[in-house]
Amino acid sequence: MRARLCVLVSGRGRNLRALHAACADGRIDADLVRVVSNRPDAAAVSFAREQGIEAVVVDNREFGTRMAFDAALGDAIAAADPDWIALAGFMRVLSDGLVQRFAGRMLNVHPSLLPRHRGLHTHRAVMAAGEREHGASVHFVSPELDSGPVIIQGRCSVTADDDEDTLAQRVLETVELRIYPQAVAWACAGRLRWRGRSAVLDDRALTRPLDLTSLEEGF
């Protein structure tokens, strides 16, 4: 039976498009059953509806407290009865209670080589630090921001001509759009889980994140 996948979005939806394409062509053994956004004007919402995917908006601006928003967001996710939830540019910090509600079933792609540069503005931070290498990581979502077990990372160079925009684009196109569908494919195939403090792939605890050489054919 194919897994049920719910994707959380806030923006353009580039990672959503990659996940949708991988579900459509069979690389991810899942049905993308619902997209949930906190922004009604997100391009990702329009894309989902164009593809015939149910898209639900839970606008954080309509709630008086974070607790109320997270409760509504959690209900919108749960209503899709998902096996896995993928955060794809979802720009809200989730409460501990919401993370625990879906513990071990929620993945995120973050544009840095975790544990370096958690949180926002990672491309700016890399450039400010004069680093010559950047990348992205897929990890399990934990209550502590960007701190769950890392599954896979990819690296790319920072050039002298880069600005934040060019660096962000390189990380997205050469790393994120490859490693995120792969990690979600492992999850939906029943090959990936969280055990103790580690990500476990094919019953093997990962002592360090996998890298681009671990990508399977098609990714």
Active site residues: 110
**Per-residue buried b or exposed e for 136-160, using 16+ beta carbons within 10 Å of the residue's own CB:** bbbbbbbeeebebbbbbbbebebee
45 close to 16: Cβ distance less than 8 angstroms: no
d(CA 8, CA 45): 10
> Among 10, 198, 211, which Cα is nearest to 113's?
211
Report strand pairing: 84-88 vs 54-57: unpaired
d(CA 27, CA 218): 7
d(CA 74, CA 209): 29
d(CA 179, CA 39): 25
- Strand order from edge to edge, sheet including 133-140: 54-57, 30-37, 3-9, 84-88, 106-110, 133-140, 150-157
